[in-house]
Amino acid sequence: MPENTLPRGNETILIVDDHESIWDFLIDALSELGYSVLLAENGLDAVEIYEANPNEIDLVLLDMIMPKSGGHQTFLRLKAIDPNAKILLSSGFVSEEEVADLLEQGACGFLPKPHRLPVVLAEIRKVLDAPGVAVNG
């Protein structure tokens, strides 16, 4: 898909992933398309960044398997801070039961790794454009 047909945005996305190759790719791609991007390399940092930026983060892209607070625990902590947080799960190695459990608890979707940029961008736009609770305020 040519870059000029990829969905663009201006929202702020918090990427939570411990693999530099993953977040490097996502930060570059999302920034090129107009998004503001924050990075947390583990779950503890994600919670800290989310708390430090109230009402500024429109979407969290959360890896499920990380050191210092895995994805499940991080998801629950973020939802405790903000029950309306839009969180998109991501992993290459996670059980269907765990994903289903978090989807039931309010996760907005699941992106399997390896990431394909058009799929990631389409899912991000779908979540951000979904009706419901207003983000950023």
Residue 5 lies in a domain: no
Q: What is the number of structural domains in the chain? A: 1
Residue 44 lies in a domain: yes
Q: CB atoms < 10 A from the CB of 14, how many?
A: 24
Residue 135 counted as domain residue:
no
Residue 19 has pLDDT above 90, yes or no: no
Answer yes or no: is 131 within a domain: no
- Domain of 47 in residue numbering reads as 10-120
Task: Show contacts of 92-97: CB within 8 Å, 24+ apart.
Answer: 93/64, 93/65, 94/64, 94/65
pLDDT at position 134 is 44
Which pLDDT does position 4 carry in this prediction? 61
- What CATH number is given to the structural domain containing 110? 3.40.50.2300
Asked if the model's pLDDT at residue 69 lies above 60, the reply is: yes
**What's the pLDDT at 135?**
43
Pairwise CA distance, residues 93 & 96, whole Å: 10
CA distance linking residue 39 with residue 32, whole number of Å: 16
Q: Cα–Cα distance between 57 and 36 in angstroms, integer? A: 9
- List, for residues 85-136, the tens digit of each pLDDT value: 999 999 887 778 888 999 999 999 999 888 889 999 999 999 999 876 544 4
pLDDT category at 1 given cuts 50, 70, 90 is: very low
The predicted-structure confidence for 24-66, as pLDDT tens digits, reads as follows 999 999 999 999 999 999 999 999 999 999 899 999 999 988 7
Average pLDDT over residues 9-24: 91
